[in-house]
Chains A and B, each alone.
Chain A
Amino acid sequence: MAVSVLVPTALRNFTEGNSSISVTASTVQEAIDQIIEIYPSLKKNLINDEGKLRNFVNLYIGENDIRHLEGVNTPIADGESLLIVPSIAGGSHGK
């Protein structure tokens, strides 16, 4: 099934500047595996040492967080988009 993975500005250094990657996948895991196969340097930015999605990275199908669905096993329908969303935080003081 044709799926678009939408890449935020923060990760485009690792996708040759591409903001959208087309893959053929039926689950989130398949889509992630494919974009890492196309752009291997994405892996360290998406996956931690335990092979799980990094804490500061969120994946959404439409406006739905996959953590509230079936995680990486969440099915993706033909034509749907998987959006990679970085966690954004900061502040004036401290570490």
Chain B
Amino acid sequence: MITLPLALEDGIRTHSELEYPYESCGLVLGNFENGVKVGKELYRLGNTRESEAKRTRFEIDPSEMVRGELYARRNGLDVVGIYHSHPDHPSVPSEFDRSHAWPGYSYLILSVGHGFSVRLQSWELDPETKQFEEEKLVLNS
């Protein structure tokens, strides 16, 4: 399970609408508390794929990932999740998402239709089956 303040959910929606028709991406920083991922801050990142590919793909520059990791650690946080958008596509992981996923993180996917954010879902890779399973996402104020 992952919990997110409404302000963070709004941040993912705003970022993803701004990036439309391209995929947005970023980190959810927070803590692991009693087996629950508690999101506390967003860390926006750039999608480094070339312009047309960005419509259906995202990639994070490892050096940006490093800065995110180090920023999190300096502030007593962890990278608990990775978010990205699916422009004009459901908020369900693709085979490409699955084959590039790591266990441990929440993968938050936001569908964006015609420029407007629609549905946000969270997914987690099962380390045994290597398949995504939907994860409970709790929004709080």
Chain A residues within CB distance 8 Å of chain B: 6, 8-13, 19, 56, 58, 60, 63, 65, 83, 85-95
Within 8 A of A (CB), among B6-28: 23, 25
Task: List 6 interface pairs A-B (beta carbons < 8 Å), by A numbering.
Answer: A10-B104, A11-B104, A87-B100, A89-B57, A90-B57, A95-B95
Counted as pairs of residues, one from A and one from B, with CB atoms less than 8 Å apart, the total is 105
Indicate the member of A6, A9, A91, A95 with the most B CB atoms within 10 Å: A91
CA distance in complex: A13, B124 (Å): 14
- Nearest-neighbor residue (CB-CB) of B54 within chain A: A91
Q: Count residues of B near A (Cβ-Cβ below 8 Å).
A: 38
New A-B contacts (18) at CB < 8 Å, excluding given A60-B62, A63-B66, A92-B56: A9-B80, A9-B105, A11-B104, A56-B100, A58-B65, A63-B70, A86-B102, A87-B60, A88-B25, A89-B59, A89-B100, A90-B107, A91-B56, A91-B58, A92-B23, A92-B89, A93-B89, A95-B96
Residues of B within 8 A of A8 (CB): 69, 79, 102, 104
Neighbour of A92 across the interface among B59, B69, B87, B127, CB < 8 A:
B87
Chain B residues within CB distance 8 Å of chain A: 23, 25, 49, 56-60, 62-63, 65-67, 69-70, 73, 78-80, 82, 84, 86-87, 89, 93-97, 99-105, 107, 127
| Interface residues of B, dominant DSSP | mixed
CA distance in complex: A94, B93 (Å): 10
Given contacts A90-B100, A92-B87, A93-B94, contact A6 B62 (CB under 8 A): no
CA distance in complex: A58, B102 (Å): 14
Q: Please determine whether B58 and A90 come into contact, CB atoms closer than 8 angstroms.
A: yes
Residues of B within 8 A of A83 (CB): 66, 69-70
CA distance in complex: A11, B102 (Å): 8
Given contacts A19-B78, A95-B96, contact A90 B69 (CB under 8 A): no
CA distance in complex: A85, B65 (Å): 7
CA distance in complex: A92, B25 (Å): 12
CA distance in complex: A63, B23 (Å): 26
Q: Please determine whether A91 and B96 come into contact, CB atoms closer than 8 angstroms.
A: yes
Given contacts A10-B105, A13-B127, A91-B56, contact A85 B62 (CB under 8 A): yes
Residues of B within 8 A of A10 (CB): 102-105
